[in-house]
């Protein structure tokens, strides 16, 4: 049995659905742990799972030897679930609250501030329920389902994926599948096939884990790009290169 650590956000529902309900993997072949991104980072570093949906910011270099190919959590346009929210425009922001659930998005934010926006701010690490502290010259980086739910509560919204694409002309990869040890080739192919099946059943995944509505379905179909192709790998390598300069 292989342990799988995956993010528990809406954008991973198709992956989770494919693993749990495609029937390609029997339930005797895996144990699935659904957690938030920073805990996936921990699962990778401490080898608490054999397979991890690893946030890109977990490591500092592109390592092809650990990748399980085919699928990722990426964006080729605005992503809507990795957002910088504020009540004032960016030029007035002096402090940014950093989402405690994030690893990759914090690095992405710092890249954009340094290289693209040419702006210096103070950072504050947070714990849960920090959103109410976003006011005045204090902005907040919010990721995942909470970002989708809070979209209409703030006057100013900056989509970090959209800004990355404007800056680099490349897609962004927030997380991708990796292994922490050698895996059986047959099991690996079945795992990839289960992910593919899940991507083909996005609507059913929403019905199973949440409630189907057109807004979330549009989000999965248009804002999240699941195919881990060469262009995304190019974007991922650019992310690692720029991260080293911070």
| pLDDT tens-digit map of 135-192 | 999 999 999 999 999 989 999 999 999 999 999 999 999 999 999 999 999 999 999 9
Q: Are 14 and 183 in contact (CB under 8 A)?
A: no
CA dihedral 75, 79, 83, 85 (to 10 degrees): 150
CA 163, CA 160: separation in Å to the nearest integer? 5
Stated pTM of the model: 0.95
Per-residue three-class SS string for 49-92: CCEEEEEHHHCCCCCHHHEEEEEEEEECCCCCCEEEEECCCHHH
CA–CA separation, 172 vs 122, rounded Å? Answer: 25
Phi, psi (rounded to 5 degrees) for 41: -60, -45
| Per-residue model confidence (pLDDT) at position 246 | 84
Q: What would the pLDDT profile of 48-72 be if each residue is shown by its tens digit? A: 999 999 999 999 999 999 999 999 9
d(CA 191, CA 171): 25
Q: The dihedral of CA 179, 183, 189, 194: what is its sign? A: negative
Can you give the pLDDT at residue 245? 82
CA distance 205 to 224: 14
Q: Is the dihedral of CA 209, 213, 215, 220 positive or negative?
A: positive
The CATH class, in words, for 2-76+171-244 is: alpha beta
Q: Report which of residues 195 and 102 the model is more confident about.
A: 195
Common-topology check for domains 2-76+171-244 and 82-168: yes
What residues does 44 pair with on adjacent strands?
Answer: none
Q: Name the nearest CA neighbour of 31 among 11, 45, 10, 52.
A: 52
> How high is the pLDDT of residue 127?
85
Altogether, the residues listed in the chain come to a count of 246
Inter-residue contact 166 to 95 (CB < 8 Å) = no
R_g of the chain, CA atoms, integer Å:
18
> For 99, which DSSP code?
P
User: Residue ranges of the domains in the chain?
Assistant: 2-76+171-244, 82-168
- Nearest Cα residue to 101 out of 16, 167, 7: 7
Strand partners, 84: 141, 158
CATH of 82-168, one of 3.30.70.2340, 3.40.960.10, 3.50.50.60, 3.40.190.10: 3.40.190.10
Mean pLDDT lowest among 83-87, 208-212, 225-229: 208-212
């Amino acid at each position: 049995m292989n342990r799988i650590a995956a993010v528990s956000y809406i954008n991973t529902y198709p992956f989770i659905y494919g693993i749990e309900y495609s029937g390609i993997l029997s339930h005797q072949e895996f144990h699935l742990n659904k957690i938030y991104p920073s805990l996936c980072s921990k699962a990778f570093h401490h080898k608490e799972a054999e397979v991890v949906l690893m946030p890109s910011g977990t490591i500092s270099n592109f390592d092809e030897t650990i990748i399980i190919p085919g699928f990722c959590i990426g964006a080729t346009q605005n992503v809507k679930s990795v957002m910088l929210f504020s009540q004032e425009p960016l030029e007035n922001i002096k402090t940014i609250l950093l989402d405690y659930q994030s690893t990759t998005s914090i690095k992405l934010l710092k890249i954009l501030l340094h290289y693209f926006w040419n702006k210096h701010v103070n950072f504050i690490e947070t714990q849960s329920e920090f959103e109410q502290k976003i006011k005045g010259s204090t902005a907040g980086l919010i990721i995942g389902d909470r970002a989708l739910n809070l979209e209409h509560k703030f006057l100013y919204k900056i989509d970090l994926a959209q800004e990355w694409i404007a800056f680099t002309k490349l897609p962004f990869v927030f997380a991708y599948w990796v292994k922490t040890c050698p895996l059986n080739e047959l099991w690996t192919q079945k795992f990839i096939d289960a992910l593919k099946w899940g991507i083909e059943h996005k609507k059913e995944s929403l019905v199973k884990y949440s409630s189907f509505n057109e807004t979330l379905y549009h989000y999965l179909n248009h804002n999240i790009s699941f195919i881990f192709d060469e262009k995304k790998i190019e974007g991922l390598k650019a992310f690692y290169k720029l991260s080293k300069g911070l």
